[in-house]
Amino acid sequence: MAENIISLQGVTKEFTTKSGPVVALRDINLDIERGDSYGIIGLSGAGKSTLVRTINLLEEPTEGKVLFDGRVLTGLKSKELNLQRRKISMIFQQFNLLMQRDAVGNICFPLEIAGVPKAEAVAKAEELLKVVDLEERAHSYPSQLSGGQKQRVAIARALASDPEVILCDEATSALDPKTTRSILTLLRKINEERGITLVVITHEMGVIKQLCNKVAVIEGGEIVERGPVKEIFANPKTKAARKLFFPDAGEREMPHVRTAVKNRLRLAFNEQTAYKPIIANMILEIGEPVNMLYANMDALLDEQKGQMVIALSDDKEIAEKQKAYLMKEGVNFTEIPEDSDYYDYPVNGPEEEVSE
Q: Tell me, what's the pLDDT at 261?
A: 66
Which segments within 242-331 are labelled E, that is strand?
264-269, 291-300, 303-311
Given a cut of 60, whether residue 170 has pLDDT beyond it is yes
Give the whole-angstrom CA distance, residue 177 versus residue 182.
9
Report the DSSP pairing between strands 20-33 and 63-68. unpaired
Asked if residue 349 has pLDDT above 50, the reply is no
Residues of the chain with CATH 3.30.70.260: 246-336
Q: What pLDDT was estimated at residue 248?
A: 52
The mean-pLDDT minimum among 91-105, 156-170, 324-338 falls in 324-338
Kindly compute the dihedral angle of the four CA atoms of residues 312, 347, 238, 68, in this order, to the nearest 10 degrees. Answer: -130
Give the model confidence (pLDDT) of 272-313 as tens digits. 777 788 888 889 888 888 888 877 776 666 666 777 888 888
What is the share, in percent, of the chain residues with pLDDT greater than 90? 50
Q: Domain 246-336 is classified in which CATH homologous superfamily?
A: ACT domain (3.30.70.260)
Q: Summarize the confidence of residues 238-252 as an average pLDDT.
A: 66
The boundaries of every CATH 3.40.50.300 domain in the chain are 4-235
pLDDT tens by residue, 189-231:
999 999 999 999 998 888 998 899 999 999 999 999 999 998 8
Contact between 246 and 342 under an 8 Å Cβ cutoff? The reply is yes
Question: pLDDT tens-digit profile of 63-99?
Answer: 999 999 999 999 888 888 888 888 999 998 888 899 9
Which pTM does this prediction carry? Answer: 0.77
* CA-atom Rg of the chain in angstroms: 24
Q: Which fold has domain 4-235?
A: Rossmann fold (3.40.50)
Following DSSP, what letter does each residue of 235-265 receive, concatenated?
A: ---SHHHHHHH-HHHHHHS-HHHHHH--SEE
Handedness of CA 119, 120, 124, 125 (dihedral sign): negative
How much of the chain is in helix, strand and coil states, percent to nearest 5?
35, 30, 35
Q: Tell me the average pLDDT of the chain.
A: 85
